[in-house]
């Protein structure tokens, strides 16, 4: 009997290894792909000049918690690896390791709910294999910047595994404190410091206690800790939302063209869309551009909003009703929904992104596998159906990886799949002009589409290639009429125009550009974008000899981000150049008060204005 169990376990591990090997093979061509989106902000500069960006800079600039675990992984990657493929290979390795953790978690959970715990390995293999080869996760694995989502998922799964280990030890009369400490004191902080939704791990523990662990004896102190921790999290989170209501729930919605209510209504359709993409993957519906998704303005506008809300409610009710009868299916549904709590709720982040399903999908696949085991099927039929499902996903993933293996092909496919997406159009035109050398094709894509994004990109392309940008610039100015906000793309492209005009690399009239840039800077946008825009505008004014205009722009930049000292040091430098030592000293001291360390880098200026 023991020999038979060992042989069965060995076969399960062999099958898991085969799933991992297939995953690595189908993903391998994708390692040749290029940088996209936020890669340009973090990863590309590190590849170009690893020593140029400090750990302090990375930790200071990303996310409410700084995401130090993810950022330090990028920094370490830059120090020890050479070439873009190595970066993507690390992401692939993380995907494989996370798949192993999915298997271990699934095996542990199935062992608790099956009448024959020794049969838990094969359902766990299927759960992990489906997750590993699912085509929806290509964009998480091959989009280097989404290592944050991978690390958060990896440490969250470790936290769940150690929590289950602790509870198993407690059931045997042990304290389980060591495993609990690793779960709560090590893995959970690492998950949260990889990406903020890692902080949801305690919620997953509560789901476990209410479902799979409901029949397991629980120490009174642990029950009290869970209740007190849950209450503290709810009260603390509520207090933070109330105290930061303006900065969290009001100001960010001035940057986008929808309200908080419209976001919540639209999420009633987005969460079911995730569900559909996981159950019946459609490559044509995938991608990271979803600005073509219509907003929901009411429960019946469109009617699918109400349908989506009813589906979510039905899932919640089903999970609650199945807590005792089907505990693993109940936990899986709960994990799928709980994993959306942060990014599909009140916070103003992208309306839809595939990587948000990376960990929640584990719950969905656990639930489906648990339900499938109840079907009156023979082992042979189950094996055939499981193999068919996995191979179907393998083929779909291979097709999607082929697109990601070439940046040109990726942007082309995304535009073909989302022809109504303005961002997909702009991204393709930008790549064609900058990397593909197809300037005329890029401009043709933008021609006749009168939006600030398309008109400004056409102007930028004209400037880059020494063409007459006057017509496109006038078109851009016209598109600003009636605009209340500027997209991140418009803010960044406007900054490039300012820099090019300042450097004499664009023939546009400097005065007209400065006037329009000031107009754009007054539109709704994140403060960091506004800061950089005013900073570039100040340099243009100074280069044109307009000292008062330059100072006004620097002061506006400083007002946008009061914690930034650089505008004051630059103002001090310009004042010193004009022999205004007293004004220079005032500006310098304002900068020093904000950032004394940065002031030390201007020691020569400090000495110069102190001597005058």
pLDDT above 50 (res 531): yes
Token code pair at residue 105: 């978690």
**What is d(CA 558, CA 531) in angstroms, rounded to the nearest whole number?**
7
Between 254 and 419, residue with greater pLDDT: 419
Q: For residue 340, what are its two tokens? A: 């959306």
Q: Where are the alpha helices (DSSP H) in 373-487?
A: 379-404, 407-417, 422-434, 439-446, 452-464, 470-479
Q: How many residues does the chain have?
A: 612
| CB 506 within 8 Å of CB 465 | no
pTM flag (> 0.85): yes
The string of pLDDT tens digits covering residues 66-114 is 788 888 888 888 777 767 788 899 999 999 999 999 999 999 999 998 8
Q: What are 566-607's pLDDT values in tens digits?
A: 999 898 889 888 888 888 888 888 888 888 888 777 777 767
DSSP track, 207-230: HHHHTTTTTS---HHHHHHHHHHH
- pLDDT of 79 reads 78
Q: Of 217-221, 467-471, 604-608, which has the strongest mean pLDDT?
A: 467-471
Whether the upstream peptide bond of residue 427 has omega within 30° of 0, thus cis, is no
Mean pLDDT of 45-53: 61
Nearest CA to 505 among 465, 474, 534, 472? 465
Phi/psi-derived region of residue 100, left when phi > 0, alpha when psi is between -120 and 50, beta in every other case: alpha
Nearest-5° angle of CA 425, CA 426, CA 431?
Answer: 100
CB under 8 A, 24+ apart: contacts of 12-21? 12/121, 12/122, 12/124, 12/125, 13/121, 15/122, 15/125, 15/129, 16/100, 16/103, 16/125, 16/128, 16/129, 19/99, 19/125, 19/128, 19/129, 19/132, 19/133, 19/390, 20/96, 20/99, 20/100, 20/132
How far are the Cα atoms of 236, 295, 536, 606 from residue 130, in angstroms, in the given order? 37, 32, 49, 62
What are the domain boundaries of the chain? 2-404, 421-564, 565-612
DSSP line for 280-303? S--GGG-SS--TTSPPP-BTTBST
Say if CB 281 and CB 134 are below 8 A apart: yes
Task: Name the residue with tokens 């020691």.
Answer: 603
Look-up of token digits 């209501």? 245
Give, as one character, the DSSP assignment of residue 585: H
User: For the residues 499-525, what does the mean pLDDT come to?
Assistant: 92
Q: What phi and psi values does residue 281 have, to the nearest 5 degrees?
A: -60, 130
Q: Give every CB contact of residue 607 below 8 A, 6+ residues apart in sequence.
A: none
Instruction: Report whether pLDDT(335) > 90.
Output: yes
Contacts of 140 (CB under 8 A, 6+ apart): 95, 146, 149, 150, 354, 355, 358
Give strand pairing partners of 301: 298
Terminal-residue alpha carbon distance, the chain: 92
Whole-number pLDDT of residue 1? 46
Contact (Cβ atoms closer than 8 angstroms) between residue 87 and residue 73: no
How high is the pLDDT of residue 57?
A: 54
Q: What's the pLDDT tens digit per position in 270-279?
A: 999 999 999 9
CA dist 143 to 68, 90, 422, 540, Å?
Answer: 19, 11, 21, 35
Residue with tokens 């503290």: 232
**Across all residues in the chain, what is the average pLDDT?**
88
CB 183 within 8 A of CB 208: no
Instruction: Please list, in sequence order, all residues whose beta carbon lies within 8 angstroms of the beta carbon of residue 201, skipping any fewer than 6 positions away.
Output: 156, 159, 160, 183, 187, 188, 191, 192
Q: How many CB atoms lie within 10 A of CB 238?
A: 10
pLDDT > 90: percent of the chain: 53
- DSSP for residue 31: G
Q: What contacts 271, CB < 8 A, 6 or more positions away?
A: 308, 312, 337, 340, 344
Please give the average per-residue pLDDT across 454-466, as a whole number.
Answer: 91
Locate 142 and state its tokens: 């091959």
Closest to 205 (Cα-Cα) out of 164, 235, 172: 164
Q: Are 314 and 270 in contact (CB under 8 A)?
A: no
Has residue 612 got a pLDDT over 70?
no
d(CA 612, CA 608): 7
- Of the pLDDT bands very low, low, confident and very high (cuts 50, 70, 90), residue 513 is very high
Cα(533)–Cα(529) distance, integer angstroms: 6
292 token code pair: 């073509």
> What is the CB-side half-sphere exposure of residue 143 using CA atoms within 13 A?
22
The residue behind tokens 């399903």 is 357
- Report the top-level CATH class of 421-564: mainly alpha
- The span from the CA of 445 to the CA of 59, in Å, is 38
Q: How many CA atoms lie within 13 A of 590 on its CB side?
A: 21
DSSP 8-state code for residue 331 = H
Q: Tokens 């709560």, residue?
A: 184
Q: To 5 degrees, how large is the angle CA 286–CA 290–CA 292?
A: 120
- Is residue 466 scored above 70 in pLDDT? yes
Checking if the pLDDT of 61 tops 80, the result is no
- Is 117 or 266 the better-scoring residue by pLDDT? 266
Position with higher pLDDT, 5 vs 98: 98
Report d(CA 516, CA 522) in Å as an integer: 10
From residue 381, give the alpha-carbon distance in Å to each of 4, 387, 388: 22, 10, 10
């Amino acid at each position: 009997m023991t020999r038979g169990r060992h042989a069965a376990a060995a076969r399960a591990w062999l099958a898991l290894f085969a799933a991992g090997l297939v995953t690595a093979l189908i993903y391998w061509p994708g390692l040749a792909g290029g940088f996209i989106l936020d890669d340009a902000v973090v990863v590309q500069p590190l590849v170009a000049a690893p020593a140029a960006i400090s750990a302090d800079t990375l930790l200071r600039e990303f996310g409410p918690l700084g995401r130090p675990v993810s950022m330090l992984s990028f920094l370490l990657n830059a120090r020890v690896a050479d070439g873009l493929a190595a970066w993507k290979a690390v992401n692939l390795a993380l995907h494989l390791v996370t798949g192993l953790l999915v298997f271990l978690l699934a095996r542990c959970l199935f062992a608790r709910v099956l009448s024959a715990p020794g049969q838990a390995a094969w359902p766990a293999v299927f759960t992990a294999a489906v997750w590993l080869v699912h085509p929806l996760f290509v964009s998480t694995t091959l989009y280097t910047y989404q290592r944050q989502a991978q690390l958060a998922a990896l440490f969250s799964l470790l936290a769940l595994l150690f929590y289950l280990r602790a509870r198993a030890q407690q059931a045997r009369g042990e304290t389980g404190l060591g495993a609990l400490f690793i779960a709560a004191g090590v893995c959970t902080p690492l998950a949260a410091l990889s990406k903020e939704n890692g902080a949801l791990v305690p919620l997953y523990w509560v789901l476990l206690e209410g479902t799979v662990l409901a029949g397991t004896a629980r120490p009174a102190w642990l029950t009290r800790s869970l209740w007190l921790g849950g209450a503290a999290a709810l009260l603390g989170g509520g207090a933070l939302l109330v105290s930061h209501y303006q900065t969290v729930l009001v100001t960010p919605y001035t940057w986008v063209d929808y309200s908080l209510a419209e976001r919540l209504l639209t999420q009633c359709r987005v969460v079911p869309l995730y569900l559909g993409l996981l159950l019946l993957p459609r490559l044509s519906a995938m991608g990271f551009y979803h600005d073509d998704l219509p907003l929901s303005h009411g429960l019946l506008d469109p009617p699918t909003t109400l349908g989506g809300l009813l589906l979510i409610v039905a899932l919640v009710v089903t999970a609650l009703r199945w807590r005792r009868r089907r505990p693993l299916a109940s936990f899986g549904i709960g994990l799928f929904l709980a994993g959306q709590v942060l990014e599909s709720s009140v916070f103003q982040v992208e309306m839809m992104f595939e990587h948000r399903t990376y960990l929640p999908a584990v719950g969905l696949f656990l639930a489906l596998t648990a339900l499938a085991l109840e079907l009156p099927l023979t082992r042979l039929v189950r094996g055939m159906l499981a193999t068919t499902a996995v191979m179907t996903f393998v083929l779909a993933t291979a097709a999607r990886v082929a697109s990601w293996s070439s940046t040109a092909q990726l942007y082309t496919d995304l535009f073909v799949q989302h022809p109504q997406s303005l961002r997909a159009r702009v991204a393709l035109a930008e790549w064609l002009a900058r990397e593909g050398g197809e300037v005329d094709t890029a401009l043709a894509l933008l021609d006749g589409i009168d939006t600030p994004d398309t008109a400004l990109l056409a102007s930028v392309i004209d400037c880059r290639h020494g063409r007459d940008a006057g017509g496109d610039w006038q078109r851009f100015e016209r598109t600003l009429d009636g605009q209340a906000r500027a997209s991140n793309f418009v803010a960044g492209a406007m900054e490039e125009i300012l820099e090019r005009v300042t450097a004499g690399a664009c023939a546009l009239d400097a005065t007209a550009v400065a006037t329009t840039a000031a107009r754009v800077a007054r539109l709704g946008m994140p403060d960091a974008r506004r800061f950089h825009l005013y900073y570039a505008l100040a340099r243009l004014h100074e280069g044109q000899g307009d000292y008062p205009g330059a100072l006004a722009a620097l002061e506006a930049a400083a007002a946008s981000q009061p914690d930034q000292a650089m505008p004051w040091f630059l103002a001090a430098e310009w004042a010193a150049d004009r022999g205004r030592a007293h004004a220079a000293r005032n500006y310098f001291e304002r900068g020093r008060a904000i950032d004394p360390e940065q002031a030390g880098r201007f020691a020569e200026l400090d000495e110069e204005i102190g001597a005058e």
